[in-house]
Structure 1
Amino acid sequence: MDYTKALNIEPGSAICYSGYRKGQRPGVAYPSYEQVREDLLILKGHWKYIRLYDCGPHSETVLKVIKKEKLDLRVMLGAYIEAEMNNFGCPWGGTYPEEVLQENKIKNLKKIEKLIGFAKQFPEIIFSLAVGNEACVDWTDHYVPVESVIEYVKLVKSEAKQPVTFCENYVPWLHKLEPLVAEIDFISIHTYPVWEYQNILNALEYTKSNYYSVAHKYPDKAVIITEAGWATNSNGRGIDPGNVNEDLQDIYYNELVNWSKEANILTFVFEAFDEPWKGSPDPKEPEKHWGLFKEDRKPKLVMQKILETNQAV
């Protein structure tokens, strides 16, 4: 199904954006107006759509910058819902005291209400809404039952006019999330070949397989990709260091973008900038190295080539 009709948008390039720099992290310190403005001026020449993960201060600043600076950017805005159930199968934590789970339910409802509020406040900028991110996959540390996600979707749809989705790894869409599909306006999947031990030679085919396994299961529902990318560094935690570098990122990015255009699939590349706050303190932690730009905003190889090409035109 054509995503442009389901989302009421025109075709365009898309990227995930999180602007936290050295010393900044959610709940502690946030990028300033000028820092966000700098980032968005970098992004606007290459991408039309950006994805934001939550309704916190960072996302509010992004929305204000886009509006005040009159930038040609549209936003998929998410609400980052937290654990409402223990997930004993999560290898890096996922169990909490019962009082924390109950507190999270209250927090999640407030986040959903804030999502609705932003949707009403910035209708010309926000083109779609996501009620959560990787909250139902087996390995998540912030597990939320499918039934709760469905209730959040219904609440958002009752109040906001934008199309509503839920962002999740491709696997749960094949079985666990079947009841959710009927409630959302379009499906959003994540696909990471390098996290699943694939090399660059079969990476795109693996991404295609992930995508079409979901798209063919739900032919009457638009399916987009809200995360797909290639890291550039690793300490060996989950990713072979020999399987990630800037050359491989350049190859995967171009293959991914070219296929997405040919197949008419909206694909949010993960991600704009490296995020030093993520993962362990190890500087080679792979979670920190998915950006097309480094933390200091210098372009990596893939963007160097794109910038050189644009300058030559």
Structure 2
Amino acid sequence: MKKIALALLTLTFALSACSAGNAASRSASPTATQGSTQTNTLPASATVTMTPTISPSPTPTAIYKVVGLNFGPYTETGQSPDLGTVISAEQLARQIDLIAPYTEWIRTYGCAGLEQVIPLAHDHGVKVAFSAWLGKDEAANDQEISCLVKAAVRYEPDLLIVGSETLYRGDLTAAQLIDYLDTVKKILPEFTVANADTAESWLKKTALLQASDIVLANLYPYWAGKDAARSIAWLDSAYTQIQRAAGEKEVWLSEIGWPDSGNTIQEAVPSPANAAAFFLNFVSWAQTKNVNYFYFEAFDEPWKETETAPQEAHWGIWTSDGQMKDGMEQVFNGGTVPDNWTPTETPTPTQVPASAGAYTNPPSSNVTQGPPAIFISGWPKNGIVQGSVKNVDPSKYHVAVYIQVNGGWWTKPYFDAPLTAISTYGYWATNYITGGNDEDATEIVAVLLPNEASVQLAEGGGLPDFSNYASARVSR
């Protein structure tokens, strides 16, 4: 961000503070502010959607309220931030009226057009984590930061989030993201300001850990291909790794959930039963561990569905028309399950289950001693390469993945996230198709690295030398 941007934003802050001094009301405006969560640019053809769809029943009493819900309001047919849809204050009010009795926090994914979420939620005594959506467009990013500053001055949200998975997507470098964080912190020193990103991004970005007031980490056993019944054990291990990296800083889970429909990924099966069971199991773990979180997500959002990823539209606790899904009520009724996540034996992987696929070099027995070893399954499907490790403590190792495309080698999944975590049970998985001509890859190498080892990046040249470490290779 250019130095002039900081000066302009500081001026914006001063002017906003003057004009909003007596206007910091917690009641919602009857009109919507135009904008969108992710594109940040409103097309000329955009229209305000006014059609009501959610008619909440009388306010219920929840025995247990979740800590927080990720909130995307684009629930009606044709609504999408990519199309510049402006959600009316009336629709926002109906949605927040519905979910407010069940949660202590609401988290948004952008600023423009969603400012009214703050006073609407506050009217219910619900706290708000308000966000600025950051991408590759510097001008759009500056608009979002300016919007965030104005909304913070006027409505006083309880947490400010600058960027969501920007490192994971490769939209910004860590240095650029830290610049945005520092800008907001200088203008609004009285607010807690944080970034949200994947666990892998946090584990390798020491400077980002220092810049963010708290750590907001996205963790998904589903995307890691974990069986729903054993997913919390993997989560427990992954969360512990982030805690260690964060040191004294508080760690929240900014995204966690399970879809009820869509693609099966390895052992992770999306279904209504698994989604409800995972919700109950996760909340039981979070209560036991005293972990703060934003569950993903409040409502199904139809606009997210694609031909290759239909599950993206099926993460909600409520359907898009506001009906709570079967089984989700167990959590709000105070239900819990016993501890099923604490390892009862040394977490050294043994055999790869048959359901995980045919491995090129599968472990032949329950060997718990010997040299470190890593395995890759047959050529990956659906853009996800997976495998297992043996004879190591998974919490002390990571996997570095490289692909060969047109004779050159590339780090995967991203330069900003070059390492893949290993589950408690010794399994690992990561995306290898994340840009460029990755689909044309002809060879994949996975290297088993101890946490203290440095990872070498491959940027189209030769394969780094990892002759001192265990590795596995698969080609086609």
Matches of 1:189 and 1:306 in 2, distance apart? Answer: 22
Matches of 1:291 and 1:105 in 2, distance apart? Answer: 32
Give how far 1:63 is off.
2.4
- Which of the numbers 12, 16, 36 marks the counterpart of 2:70? 16
Query: Equivalent residue of 1:167, what SS?
Result: strand
- Which of the numbers 213, 236, 255 marks the counterpart of 1:208? 236
Matched, 1:199 2:230: no
Give how far 1:201 is off.
1.9
Aligned 8 A contact 1:17 1:50 in 2: yes
Aligned 8 A contact 1:272 1:293 in 2: yes
Equivalent residues in 2 for 1:148-187, closer than 5 Å: 148-160=176-188, 161-175=190-204, 177-187=205-215
Give how far 1:198 is off.
0.5
Give how far 1:215 is off.
0.3
Partner of 2:173: 145
The letter for the 2-side match of 1:36 is L
Matched, 1:255 2:310: no
Which stretches in structure 2 are left out of the alignment for 5+ residues?
1-64, 335-476
Q: C-alpha root-mean-square deviation of aligned residues, in Å?
A: 2.0
The letter for the 2-side match of 1:75 is V
Partner of 2:118: 63
Matches of 2:268 and 2:192 in 1, distance apart? Answer: 40
Matched, 1:275 2:304: no
The letter for the 2-side match of 1:72 is G
Matches of 2:130 and 2:145 in 1, distance apart? Answer: 11
Give how far 1:110 is off.
2.0
Measured at CA, do residues 12 and 198 of structure 1 come closer, stay the same or move farther in structure 2, by a change above 3 Å? closer
Aligned 8 A contact 2:222 2:268 in 1: no
Percent identity of paired positions between Structure 1 and Structure 2: 24
Give how far 1:304 is off.
4.3
Aligned 8 A contact 1:136 1:168 in 2: yes
- Which of the numbers 136, 149, 162 marks the counterpart of 2:167? 136
Give how far 1:225 is off.
0.4
Partner of 2:409: none
Aligned 8 A contact 1:188 1:224 in 2: yes
Give how far 1:64 is off.
4.2
Partner of 2:127: 74
Give how far 1:12 is off.
6.2
Partner of 2:323: 298
Moved over 3 A (4+): 239-242, 304-307
Q: Specify which structure has the higher proportion of strand.
A: 2
Matched, 1:121 2:154: yes
**What is the TM-score when the length of structure 2 is the normalising length?**
0.53
Give how far 1:108 is off.
0.9
Greater shift after overlay, 273-282 or 108-117? 273-282
Q: For residues 284-313 of structure 1, what are the alpha-carbon distances to aligned partners after superposition, in whole Å with 9 as ceiling and x for unaligned?
A: 701110001111111112334457x48xxx
Give how far 1:272 is off.
0.4
Query: Equivalent residue of 1:298, what SS?
Result: coil
Query: Equivalent residue of 1:243, what SS?
Result: coil
Q: Specify which structure has the higher proportion of helix.
A: 1
**What is the TM-score when the length of structure 1 is the normalising length?**
0.80
Aligned 8 A contact 1:234 1:241 in 2: no
Matches of 1:253 and 1:44 in 2, distance apart? Answer: 18
Query: Equivalent residue of 2:78, what SS?
Result: coil
Matches of 2:300 and 2:244 in 1, distance apart? Answer: 34
Partner of 2:313: 288
Matches of 2:236 and 2:229 in 1, distance apart? Answer: 13
Matches of 2:104 and 2:166 in 1, distance apart? Answer: 27
Matches of 1:171 and 1:107 in 2, distance apart? Answer: 26
Matched, 1:34 2:99: no
The letter for the 1-side match of 2:236 is K
Give how far 1:218 is off.
2.1
Aligned 8 A contact 1:292 1:302 in 2: no
Measured at CA, do residues 163 and 281 of structure 1 come closer, stay the same or move farther in structure 2, by a change above 3 Å? same
Aligned 8 A contact 1:136 1:143 in 2: yes
Matched, 1:190 2:218: yes
Give how far 1:45 is off.
0.9
Which stretches in structure 1 are left out of the alignment for 5+ residues?
1-10, 84-103
Matches of 2:208 and 2:268 in 1, distance apart? Answer: 38
Matches of 2:134 and 2:269 in 1, distance apart? Answer: 32
Higher RCO (Cα < 8 Å, 6 or more apart): 1
Give how far 1:241 is off.
9.6
Give how far 1:153 is off.
0.8
Matches of 2:103 and 2:282 in 1, distance apart? Answer: 15
Query: Equivalent residue of 2:103, what SS?
Result: coil
Q: For residues 208-265 of structure 1, what are the alpha-carbon distances to aligned partners after superposition, in whole Å with 9 as ceiling and x for unaligned?
A: 12211110122211111000000010145xx369701111111111111121122111
